[in-house]
Amino acid sequence: MSARLEPCVSIDFDSSALDEVVTKTKDWALMHGVCMRSRQNFSPDSINFAPFVLVPSTFPKKEFEKAIELQTLVNEMIYRIANNYEFLKTTLAITNTVDPFTAQLFKIYTTVQEEGVSQEECCGGLFRCDYMLDRDAVRQVEINTIASSFAGICTRVTRLHRFVMQELGHGDKLQQLPENNALEALCGGMLKAWEIYNQPQAVILFIVEDITYNICDQRFHEFEIRKQNPNVRVVRRSLTQLGRGGAVLDAERKLIIDGQEVAVVYFRCGYAPDQYPSADGCEWDARLMIERSKAIKCPSISYHLAGTKKVQQVLAEPGFLERIFDDAEKVAKLRDVFTGLYSLDLNEEGDRAAEMAIENPEKYVLKPQREGGGNNVYGKEVAEVLKQLKDNPERASYILMDIIQPPLLRNWMIRPSTQPMLVDTLSELGIFGVIIGNSKEILHNSMGGHMLRTKIHTANEGGVAAGLGALDSPFLV
């Protein structure tokens, strides 16, 4: 492990003020929707504030700006992959033989490709590219291409930390907390897609879970859409509801829900196997129906597949980015944020990577083709899993990645029903991106704001919804 500096809190203040500031900030969070439903004490009628760290974490301005600037290129990269059936087919060929979930997604993709997709039909990408600092430089953790969450809440977290800074007597430093328009950007993207669909009566469909814990984040999106265009209605349905007769496809491939035509489908669910629970596969039927429809999907199945960990790993191989972009400068900029990624296919190259990780498991993270947190393997377990999978084709369902080691910062972690804890933390920066295009051209491509999540340094993962991380804001230095 590299030597680390002794962690310190990014902003000094008189700690006798702690209780008062914490209580006040919890109330601020509750009053401004920095909130989620509780998993432990679930009631549809109540919310708790979402975990947050009290003071914003320092983040190097140069690296923040680099990530912001890179986002339209990241968007374009995903767009190009998603529109390259042969690339996806080759890249995911082995994965599809050992990972039934990816294979099922791919089957829908192939079905729709074979039926023929009009070149005019658009797809929407609402991405979040995640980074961690390795020493002083940002490194890409992953790119989320489906259900990228927290754009709604994180715009309020920026305001929460402005409030805290003022309360703590640091109101002169507010310009170091960058503006954040994530919610406006993502909802603006959905409305742009709605306009392209060009049917004034049509609605935007949110695909949601049976129980939505991250309800404020989702509703902020719905309310922002209504605010930006009061004529657009949002309807919420689960894949199960749609698959059990809640939606039909008419002869013109219009997706119809309760007599209403759907212009845009926004997935906040559908990225994990347990979100397709029915034995009769009705959720898969719904996914296929949506994919076949002419509604603009955010994301289409091709964007979903372009966000798999396997694609990320293959893109990092020498020569692959060059196949996507013929511009050397673009390739260099993208490659600059990649970290070591290794195939675990059952061949010599995969064997070498597995041996390397068995020898030094702490240096790597083992990732299956899953989303939503809590699926990766760390530490000694990396070696155990790889030993178990020796000569087993299923090894190829994982990829291997270098562990990124961000600097530690000390901060107060504030959680519901828990005393504030002063802990050593590390952070993950997410940059949102919006792209809309058809197979011929990109119609819209923009950066869409940011989020920062911070976790106790001993936790492997820091998902806020998964209960391990806390919301944060970058304090640029």
> Whose Cβ is closer to ligand ADP: residue 158's or residue 427's?
427
Is 330 a known active-site residue?
Answer: no
Is 192 a known active-site residue?
Answer: no
Report the residue from 290, 365, 386, 409 that binds ligand ADP according to the rule CB under 6 A: 365
Stretch that binds Mg ion, among 115-123, 144-152, 347-355, 448-456 (CB under 5 A): 144-152
Stretch that binds ligand ADP, among 61-69, 225-233, 239-247, 368-376 (CB under 6 A): 368-376
38 binds ligand ADP, rule: CB under 6 A:
no
Report the residue from 299, 449, 462, 474 that binds ligand ADP according to the rule CB under 6 A: 462
Three-class SS of the chain: CCCCCCCCCCCCCCHHHHHHHHHHHHHHHHHCCCEECCCCCCCCCCCEECCEECCCEEECHHHHHHHHHHHHHHHHHHHHHHCCHHHHHHHHHHHHHHCHHHHHHHHHHHHHHHHCCCCCCCEEEEEEEEEEEECCEEEEEEEECCCCCCHHHHHHHHHHHHHHHHHCCCHHHHHHCCCCCHHHHHHHHHHHHHHHHCCCCCEEEEECCCCCCCHHHHHHHHHHHHHHCCCCCEEEECHHHHHHHHCEECCCCCEEECCEEEEEEEECCCCCHHHCCCCCCHHHHHHHHHHHCCCEEECCHHHHHHCCHHHHHHHCCCCHHHHHCCCHHHHHHHHCCCCCEEECCCCHHHHHHHHHHHHCHHHEEEEECCCCCCCCEECHHHHHHHHHCCCCHHHHHEEEEECCCCCCEEEEEECCCCCCEEEEEEEEEEEEEEEEECCCCEEEEEEEEEEEEEEECCCCCCCCCCCCEEEECEEEC
Stretch that binds Mg ion, among 141-149, 175-183, 248-256, 283-291 (CB under 5 A): 141-149
Stretch that binds ligand ADP, among 72-80, 185-193, 328-336, 369-377 (CB under 6 A): 369-377
224 binds ligand ADP, rule: CB under 6 A:
no
373 binds ligand ADP, rule: CB under 6 A:
yes
For the CB of residue 465, give the shortest distance to Mg ion in the complex, in Å. Answer: 11
Other Cβ atoms within 10 Å of 116 Cβ, number: 7
> Whose Cβ is closer to Mg ion: residue 146's or residue 234's?
146
> Whose Cβ is closer to ligand ADP: residue 130's or residue 345's?
130
> Whose Cβ is closer to Mg ion: residue 147's or residue 187's?
147
Is 120 a known active-site residue?
Answer: no
Q: Which of residues 188-207 bind Mg ion (CB under 5 A)?
A: none
371 binds Mg ion, rule: CB under 5 A:
yes
Report the residue from 192, 367, 395, 450 that binds ligand ADP according to the rule CB under 6 A: 367
Is 367 a known active-site residue?
Answer: yes
Is 114 a known active-site residue?
Answer: no
316 binds ligand ADP, rule: CB under 6 A:
no
Report the residue from 58, 96, 144, 176 that binds Mg ion according to the rule CB under 5 A: 144
For the CB of residue 149, give the shortest distance to Mg ion in the complex, in Å. Answer: 10
Is 259 a known active-site residue?
Answer: no
Is 83 a known active-site residue?
Answer: no
Is 149 a known active-site residue?
Answer: yes
Please pick, among 96, 144, 300, 302, the residue that the annotation labels catalytic. Answer: 144
Please pick, among 26, 309, 370, 455, the residue that the annotation labels catalytic. Answer: 309
Other Cβ atoms within 10 Å of 112 Cβ, number: 17
Please pick, among 128, 156, 237, 268, the residue that the annotation labels catalytic. Answer: 128
Write the DSSP assignment of 285-311 as a string of letters: HHHHHHHHSSSEEET-HHHHHHTSHHH
Contact (CB, 8 A) for 290 and 137: no
Is 62 a known active-site residue?
Answer: no
List the x/- string, 130-149, binding to ligand ADP by CB under 6 A: x-x--------xx-------
For the CB of residue 222, give the shortest distance to Mg ion in the complex, in Å. Answer: 23
Give the interface with ligand ADP as residue ranges (CB under 6 A): 130, 132, 141-142, 365, 367, 370-373, 375-376, 401-404, 428, 461-462
Active-site annotation, residues = 128, 142, 144, 149, 309, 367, 371-372, 453
